[in-house]
Copies of this chain bind each other. A is one copy, B any other.
Amino acid sequence: MDGLHIIASLYRCRGDARYLVDAEPLRAFCVDAINRSGLTVVDALFHRFPGSDGGANGGVTGCIVLAESHLAIHTWPELQSVTLDIFACNHSQDNSARAGAVVDDIVAIFKPQEIARHDLVRLGPGHQIPAPLVARA
């Protein structure tokens, strides 16, 4: 159950705005990014919320079950922002770099001008909790 849990917030996104409001291309991109990384998609659930005006400017929440744990992503089009986290356990190998590659791919499409990221190393029983690495870029 050891593994890396990356938690990131992407602010002032200047990338393709379609990914902020349209569930299907966001789902497809995330699935492809996971496949490219070498992690394994089991199933995915994406939901588009109605916009504040009842229209199409609502955000998207997506959850992907991985063989190695999960990815969750939320878009906030009204704030041009995205929150995401990915937990990749190291069942048969160290998957930390794979989780990082997925985050990097998602950052690349949203093109945020500011990022807050926590890298939380999760360990089994009896370990000290390491301080998370915190970065703001």
Contacts and interface: CB of A to CB of B under 8 A. Distances in A.
Interface residues of A, number: 44
Give the number of times this chain occurs in the complex, counting copies: 2
A69 B66 CA distance: 18
Interface string A21-53: 000000000000000000000111101010000
Contacts of A1: 9, 74, 76, 79, 81, 83
- Chain A interface, >50% SS class: strand
Contact of A69 (B42, B61, B89, B126): B61
Contacts of A12: 125
A7 interface: yes
Contacts of A131: 134
Interface string A1-19: 1000101010110000000
26 contacts: A1-B79, A7-B120, A11-B124, A11-B125, A43-B45, A45-B63, A61-B65, A61-B69, A61-B70, A62-B65, A63-B63, A63-B70, A63-B72, A69-B72, A69-B74, A74-B87, A74-B89, A81-B124, A83-B87, A83-B89, A85-B85, A114-B125, A118-B120, A118-B129, A129-B136, A132-B132
